[in-house]
Amino acid sequence: MNIYLASKSPRRQELLRQMDVAFELLLVDTPEIVQPGELPEEYSKRVTQEKMSASWNTVIQNELPLMPVLCADTEVILDGKIMGKPQDEQDAYQMLKSYANRSHQVITSVGLIYNDYQKIIMNTTEVTFSAMTDEEIKHYLASGNYKDKAGSYGIQSYIGQFISRIEGCFDSVMGLPLNTVRELLLDFKRHSKNLA
């Protein structure tokens, strides 16, 4: 099955390649603004839904080949607060410092859309960091790997050595839980067969 991947993330592209899923990139910008009083889970689901709608509209309006579109949103949550992507190096430093010797949650919502088929599955993983010195944090920041990453870190990089425990899906922390993608693709195939 061929699909569109609506994501600029090289990590999501790499993960999808591991599944041997044929895909084309479909790049659509959607605003990611937290609404007042919106819970992290609601926010992630809403952003994923908006990405799905915008992507499908792009397929239709540009008369692109009709294929399912896979979208995802990853959020890092500490003490019930969405950490977001860092605005600058100082912001990233503060985020990373706040994770030391603590646990936080990583929520990844994954959605698939094709015509009237729309489904979103949310995956939550708990990540625990050990202690990190200022020097270790600054060394990571100097690499630039914090840029454009939810919560300022990529688990697969240098900072991963400070993660003492993961409860849940490692791939989800990278931005695309493969088992969830598989589940969505199988569900879509069943849905398509029922319509035939």
Between the two ends of the chain, the Cα-to-Cα distance in Å is: 16
Q: How far apart are CA 162 and CA 155, in angstroms?
A: 9
Span of 12-16, 145-149, 159-163 with lowest mean pLDDT: 145-149
Instruction: Provide the mean pLDDT of the chain.
Output: 95
- Mark whether 88 is an active-site residue: no
Q: How far apart are CA 141 and CA 161, in angstroms?
A: 14
Predicted local confidence at residue 148, as pLDDT? 86
Please give the model's pTM, rounded to 2 decimal places. 0.92
pLDDT in tens, 76-101: 999 999 999 999 999 999 999 999 99
Predicted local confidence at residue 196, as pLDDT? 58
Single out the catalytic residue among 29, 73, 88, 171. 73
Backbone phi, psi, residue 105, to 5°: -110, 145
pLDDT in tens, 132-156: 999 999 999 999 989 989 999 988 8
In a 3-state reduction of DSSP, which class is residue 23?
strand
What stretch of H or E contains 75? strand 69-78
Q: Which domains does the chain have, with CATH numbers?
A: 2-195 (3.90.950.10)
